[in-house]
Amino acid sequence: MRFHKSRITPRLASDKLSQMVRCDSCLEKDFFIQLDFDPAVIAWRAHPFQISYLYKGRLRRYTPDALVLRRKVSGMVYQVVEVTSIYLLAKDEVARTLEVGERLCSDKGWEYRVVTEREIRSGHFLENIKRIRRYRSQRPPCNTISQ
């Protein structure tokens, strides 16, 4: 983690990206960890682009949390993902931002997903990933591999 002004900025060493990724929240970091372990995810990018839009007469900018290239039965699909907390979904400005993201994705033929802590932190999947994550790049000893 990195200290920045008066807040802590979580960072993640991504195996799929082979680089450090800056996260805006711990919830976003947990989602990125899941992307790294998802076999259907071919590639992903954090904070891929900015979208400018007008809201209440002012120019605003919105940066989606992730752009994901995912393998599905129907073929390869691009997904733009916004990671947010459930209580923020009720805010007017957040609803407008999600509407802008959805419109952009429908114009490009991409999928748009909103992911909350309910989806990210439900069950034991995330806990298990965090436990085994440090061993992911280790290879078993040569004498235990049967040939």
Question: Model confidence over 37-93: pLDDT tens digits?
Answer: 889 999 999 999 999 988 888 999 999 999 999 998 888 999 999 999 999 998 988
State pTM to two decimals.
Answer: 0.81
What residue spans define the domains of the chain?
A: 2-125
Q: At what angle do helices 125-132 and 26-37 cross, to 10 degrees?
A: 70
Say yes or no: domain 2-125 is CATH 3.40.50.12500: no
What is the pLDDT, as a whole number, of residue 17? 78
Contacts with 71 (C-beta within 8 Å, 6 or more apart), sequence order: 40, 41, 42, 77
pLDDT in tens, 26-48: 899 999 999 998 899 999 999 99
Contact 21, 48 (CB under 8 A): no
